[in-house]
Structure 1
Amino acid sequence: MPANRAVIYRGPGHVEVESIDYPTFELKDGPGVNPANVGRQLGHAAILKVVATNICGSDQHMVRGRTTAPEGLALGHEITGEVVEVGPGVEFIQVGDLVSVPFNIACGRCRNCKEGKTGVCLNVNPDRPGSAYGYVDMGGWVGGQAEYVLTPYADWNLLKFPDRDRAMEKILDLAMLADIFPTGFHGCVTAGVGPGKSVYIAGAGPVGLAAATSAFLLGASVVMVADLQKERLDQARSFGCETIDVSMGDPKEQIAQVLSGEPEVDCAVDAVGFEARGHGADAQTERPATVLNAVMDVTRAGGAVGIPGLYVTGDPGAGDEAAKVGSLSIRLGLGWAKSLSFTTGQCPVMRYNNYLMEAILHDRAPIARNVNATVIPLDRAPEGYTEFDHGAARKYVIDPHGMLGSAMS
């Protein structure tokens, strides 16, 4: 049985690469595993040799100590891999397949899955609807920032790439299908982005840049990306985005400069989430409701707001008691008065990933270039976490087996 190593959360600001058990077709006890999930038999699962696994901003929330994640949790929910073993209940996925793994773990059997709401599957997490690999309060499924990982309900969850050689030529782009590309796309779709529309995207991290890529793919006329960090704004500008520096204050004045005097956009996307900082003089101060209120303010009446940015029900590091349980000072009256539509929650990855795969394979979506995908070996994962936390304008892709070849940088 091969050895297995993974990125392990060891407390606020601290991750290590450590040896863990090789996956088996049974969910065992461990850090974060819900007791009701212990002993679950997984004949429907596949074991993957991890080809690429990415560091996500959602992982950083845990590593910063802003969630109730337990020490010892194996991290990682953005996984691309090669199937090396399948359980007796797997019918269509085969050993040797190269696959993308949606970060949502879904059974394919419950009411929500049958309605396409795979982000809130009812059967994989005893705590609440919805699950993911290597994430706090998501049932305890072992994370994929590892050499090998188990993926349940393989026939349902895994997206097989149709041609291995062609896929490996685009592997950095395809690695974004596990989460950020569908998530950014979902933010834009739910915000109503379409041909000729103007779009404001709050946040120039990887999800924000993926949303900007998606907005262009959907036909937007102008895509504005807002952030506090120059390096991230430069990255957004590198592929045609207009940029809004919110450290300078309220974004409306800058939006008006882009839109010939019009201070409001057709569509807005919140790609920041609950660790938002203020604008202008408050740019160095955490203000968790700032972005939600800003996107309502800058969206025209009758418009829509997509909210793929993460908001939590438990934030022990919040600055006030209300925010610790996810209660924020949101200007709901403003949203109501403007008849805005809102969509929140996990992206249902399977709703989009096959189409986005085809867009990548047919050279319509250079997502790896746009998010500045940067390959690092597994041993450098702690360094990647630190650099990302300091605001590096990169999407770190971990290469556990050295399979990414010339993509290494």
Structure 2
Amino acid sequence: MADQNKVVVYKGPGEVAVEPIDYPKLEVPQDVAEAMNYRSAAAPHAVILRVVSTNICGSDQHMVRGRTTAPVGQTLGHEITGEVVEAGDDVQFIKEGDICSVPFNIACGRCRNCKERKTGVCLNVNPARAGSAYGYVDMGGWQGGQANYVMVPFADFNLLKFPDRDQALEKILDLTMLSDIFPTGYHGAYTAQVTTGSTVYVAGAGPVGLAAAHSAQLLGASVVIVGDLNDDRLAQARSFGCETINVGEGGEITEQIAAITGIPEVDCAVDAVGFEASAKAGEEAPAVVLNQVQTITRAGGSLGIPGLYVTGDPGAADPEAQEGTLKIRFGLGWAKSHAFFTGQCPVMQYNRELMMSILYDKAQIAKAVNATVIPLEEAPQGYQDFDKGAAKKYVLNPNGYINA
């Protein structure tokens, strides 16, 4: 008899619950198989994982706030680390007992984009559009990983195996960040072309922003400035050596930047906020960060934009924003010859190298984002606290792998 399985489920705006769900099978979603012309829904290329750790993400929070088209009943969770407990007959190199990080991008490894390492826009796993993820709206109907067990398809391609089990469990709070926010933050800094001596502005002191700030430090930035409205989160950024500004106080952002760098601009910038941006507390302005980063980035600079922007936002204040049409000063960016880098992070471009940085103590990502462990049953409270602005990255511990 298969072990009991539970999963976090979206129940409507502001509400999640932990509910029973069937133990996973080595099968892909039927809709995906039919629409993408798979030979069958059977998945001998897949594994089943007993989840070691799975994290609450700001992208999940967008759904839970009712700011996407996610249906009631949507399972949640795309940041997954797990132990293989069952492997399909076509899985050649991943074995039962391996502990692995799961990139949040579901990728086939066979299509043109996957072969070009653009795994965030795989062409074979989501009938609605290029790109897919576990437990996310419009991403193909794959079960979420905030659960006891989850199925991972195309396992040989997707999974990143940790080289040593004991070492992995010892460093699990750092390694759990490899499924999404550490590569995503790094992607933002890397595509912004942060390098030795760069001055960097990171918009947003949530977990992805903090990961981007820590990544900028790893890449050699001379100064990393983090902007937010939340003083607790700004204090967390200062805890690992960042400069900070409260963008809702203290005057124009250019003036606040100049007070730190001596000039009202930076070499490069990262938008780790996305479409629920605010000009000040309680005043939503979805394009404000995109316009700020253009204003303060030097001519010829680059903008990394890992912050989430959507094509469907029923909670937006105006009809244009509801379909993802924003009023950005593109002319300013053009005049300054800015390079814009957007879209889902292709996790597999970065996760192995970042794993090595963790294993050899070069990266301290868990400390940077204030990793905080809670049981799976406390996920609803974790979502509430995170929504209130807690300066924490909540890590769910569904099967007791993580020591208290």
**Partner in structure 2 of residue 274 of structure 1:** 275
Q: Secondary structure at the match of 1:247?
A: coil
Q: CA deviation at 1:250?
A: 2.5
Q: Percent identity?
A: 68
Over 3 Å counting, the alpha-carbon distance change for 1:344 and 1:111 in structure 2 is: same
CA deviation digits over 1:30-78, x for unaligned, max 9?
A: 9xx7973796221100000000000000000000001111111110000
Matches within 5 A, 1:189-338: 189-248=190-249, 249-260=251-262, 262-278=263-279, 282-338=280-336
| Contact 1:112–1:118 (CA under 8 A) maintained in structure 2 | yes
Q: CA deviation at 1:402?
A: 1.2
**Partner in structure 2 of residue 36 of structure 1:** 35
**Partner in structure 1 of residue 347 of structure 2:** 349
Q: CA RMSD in A?
A: 1.3
Segments of structure 1 that go 5 or more residues without pairing to the other structure are none
Q: CA deviation at 1:229?
A: 0.5
CA deviation digits over 1:281-307, x for unaligned, max 9?
A: x44210000000000000000000000
| Contact 2:23–2:149 (CA under 8 A) maintained in structure 1 | yes
2: CA distance, partners of 1:251 / 1:185: 24
Q: CA deviation at 1:167?
A: 1.1
Q: CA deviation at 1:27?
A: 2.9
Q: Write the letter of the residue equivalent to 2:11.
A: R
| Contact 1:9–1:15 (CA under 8 A) maintained in structure 2 | yes
| Alignment partner of 1:5 is 2:6 | yes
1: CA distance, partners of 2:75 / 2:320: 29
| Contact 2:369–2:392 (CA under 8 A) maintained in structure 1 | yes
CA deviation digits over 1:368-409, x for unaligned, max 9?
A: 01100000000000000000000000000000011100xx3x
Q: Write the letter of the residue equivalent to 1:285.
A: E
2: CA distance, partners of 1:241 / 1:284: 25
| Contact 1:34–1:139 (CA under 8 A) maintained in structure 2 | no
Q: Normalising by structure 2, report the TM-score.
A: 0.97
**Partner in structure 2 of residue 370 of structure 1:** 368
2: CA distance, partners of 1:366 / 1:10: 35
2: CA distance, partners of 1:186 / 1:292: 17
1: CA distance, partners of 2:395 / 2:169: 14
Q: CA deviation at 1:213?
A: 0.6
| Contact 1:34–1:140 (CA under 8 A) maintained in structure 2 | no
Segments of structure 2 that go 5 or more residues without pairing to the other structure are none
Matches within 5 A, 1:104-253: 104-248=105-249, 249-253=251-255
| Contact 2:29–2:141 (CA under 8 A) maintained in structure 1 | no
2: CA distance, partners of 1:202 / 1:28: 37
| Alignment partner of 1:387 is 2:385 | yes
1: CA distance, partners of 2:123 / 2:277: 30
Q: Secondary structure at the match of 1:108?
A: coil
Q: Secondary structure at the match of 2:12?
A: coil
Q: Write the letter of the residue equivalent to 1:79.
A: I
2: CA distance, partners of 1:246 / 1:341: 24
2: CA distance, partners of 1:398 / 1:309: 23
Q: Write the letter of the residue equivalent to 1:257.
A: A
2: CA distance, partners of 1:117 / 1:285: 36
Higher mean displacement: 19-28 or 302-311: 19-28
Over 3 Å counting, the alpha-carbon distance change for 1:91 and 1:34 in structure 2 is: closer
Q: Secondary structure at the match of 2:284?
A: coil
| Contact 1:34–1:126 (CA under 8 A) maintained in structure 2 | no
Q: Normalising by structure 1, report the TM-score.
A: 0.96
